[in-house]
């Protein structure tokens, strides 16, 4: 398999690497068996290998890249699906979060806007999406970062 180099977030290359939230990262297509940019759980070892990617091209960086790619080949990917709820109250919230992934409002901030209690929204979110609203927001932010990453 042809292995491209990894680029740290902010570098201007066609195949970028970007951190996308606590505990997750994005690696470019072509460096792993994955066919598209994919979220992976970033272990402490992987996190330490990412640090040299922010430095100029050097032997240490190339070694870190190679080891990181080798490690990521065996790491299970995290599906970044974003289930869309059918409840109109939840859709109002999720549509706003997709439109602006930096929107930091939690469910309590939406209570008056969608005319539903926090407990109701919390239960409906879990029932309709299979995840908490915080998990859903994290996935939405990761997807936004993937779309923004250079290709």
Distance CA(32)–CA(111), nearest Å, equals 43
Query: Which pLDDT belongs to residue 85?
Result: 96
Tell me the pLDDT tens digit for each residue of 36-71.
Answer: 666 677 788 888 888 877 777 788 888 888 888 788
Write down the number of H helices and E strands in the chain: 6, 4
Q: Is the pTM of this model over 0.95?
A: no
Q: How confident is the model at residue 33 (pLDDT cuts 50, 70, 90)?
A: low
Tell me the pLDDT tens digit for each residue of 63-114.
Answer: 888 888 788 777 776 666 789 999 999 999 999 999 998 998 999 999 999 9
Nearest partner of 123 among 111, 115, 113, 131, judged by Cα:
131
Spans of all domains in the chain: 18-78, 88-148
Which residues are paired to 24 by β-bridges? Answer: 41
> How many residues are given for the chain?
151
């Amino acid at each position: 398999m042809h292995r491209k180099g990894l680029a740290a977030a902010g570098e201007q290359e066609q195949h970028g690497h970007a951190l996308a939230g606590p505990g997750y990262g994005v690696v470019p297509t072509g460096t792993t068996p994955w066919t598209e940019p994919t979220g992976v759980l970033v272990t402490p070892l992987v996190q330490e290998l990412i640090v040299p990617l922010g430095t100029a091209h050097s032997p240490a960086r190339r070694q870190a890249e190679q080891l990181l790619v080798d490690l990521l080949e065996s790491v299970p990917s995290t599906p970044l699906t974003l289930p869309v709820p059918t409840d109109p109250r939840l859709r109002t919230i999720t549509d706003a979060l997709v439109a602006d992934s930096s929107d930091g409002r939690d469910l309590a901030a939406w209570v008056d806007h969608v005319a539903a209690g926090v407990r109701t929204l919390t239960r409906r979110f879990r029932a309709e999406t299979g995840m908490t609203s915080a998990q859903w927001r994290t996935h939405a932010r990761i997807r936004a970062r993937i779309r923004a990453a250079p290709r």
